[in-house]
């Protein structure tokens, strides 16, 4: 799909061991990952946090959500949450949503795979993406 915008890279230090997720920073301390996620959500009209990439989804739920967006020919930014466990941790803290994928439209959580697919089938997704 040519209209998929390139995947968004969250700026975070390279080489972080994937297995050691530190505890979330106490309130008031700078939290670069959380800030980067919030900025990405604010900067993209449609942004999908997923496992893997649109070209190579690493989970069936992410794959189905990508397929719905591509079916509607919607340009969207995508963030792979797998490279660093802190991305998922901070994302879920921001969104109050425990699972992946998560689709944000105009800065608001629209839903995970189940809701996106339900809305796709009912036509509501196309309306929400206008």
Partner 1 sequence: MPSAEDISQRIEASIPGATADVEDYTGTGDHFRATVTAAAFAGRSRIEQHRLVYEIFGAEIGGPIHALSLKTQVPQDVPGAGAAMPQPTTTQ
Whether the Cβ atoms of residue 53 and residue 1 lie closer than 8 Å to each other: no
Pick 1 or 95: Cβ nearer partner 1: 95
Q: Interface with partner 1 includes 67 (CB under 8 A)?
A: no
Residues 67, 108, 120, 121: which binds partner 1 (CB under 8 A)? 108
Residues 6 or more apart in contact with residue 43 via CB below 8 angstroms:
none
Q: Kindly state whether residue 39 participates in binding partner 1, applying the rule CB under 8 A.
A: no
- Tell whether residue 112 is a contact of partner 1 (CB under 8 A): yes
How crowded is residue 91: how many other Cβ atoms within 10 Å of its Cβ? 24
Kindly list the residues in this chain that would bind partner 1 in the complex (CB under 8 A).
61, 88, 96-99, 105-115, 118, 124, 127-128, 130
């Amino acid at each position: 799909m040519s209209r998929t915008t390139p995947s968004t890279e969250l700026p975070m230090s390279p080489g972080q061991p994937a297995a050691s997720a530190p505890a979330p920073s106490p309130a008031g301390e700078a939290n670069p990952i959380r800030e980067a996620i919030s900025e990405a959500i604010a900067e993209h009209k449609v942004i999908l946090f997923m496992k893997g990439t649109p070209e190579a989804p690493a989970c069936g739920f992410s794959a189905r959500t990508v397929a719905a967006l591509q079916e509607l020919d919607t340009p969207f930014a995508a963030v792979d949450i797998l490279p660093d466990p802190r991305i998922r941790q901070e994302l879920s803290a921001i969104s109050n949503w425990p699972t992946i994928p998560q689709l944000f439209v105009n800065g608001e959580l629209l839903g995970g795979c189940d809701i996106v697919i339900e809305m796709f089938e009912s036509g509501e997704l196309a309306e929400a993406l206008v």
